[in-house]
Amino acid sequence: MIKTKWLIYTVVIGLMPFFIRTFIALFDKTGTLEYWINETDFIGLGLVLNLSIINELEDKDFEDKIWKTRNIGFSVVSIVLFSSILAIVTYSDFKLNKDINKTTVKICSIVLAIVSFIFSYSIYNRLNTLKK
pLDDT of residue 47: 96
> What is the count of structural domains for the chain?
1
Q: What domain range is 32 assigned to?
A: 2-131
Instruction: Give CA–CA dist 78/50, Å, rounded.
Output: 7
| More confidently predicted of 85 and 36 | 85
pLDDT in tens, 50-88: 999 999 999 888 888 999 999 999 999 999 999 999 998
Higher-scoring residue by pLDDT: 34, 82: 82
Please name which of 116, 109, 114 lies closest in space to residue 88, comparing C-alpha atoms: 109
pLDDT at residue 21 is higher than 80: yes
Least confident of 7-16, 61-70, 94-103, 114-123: 94-103
- What pLDDT was estimated at residue 1? 67
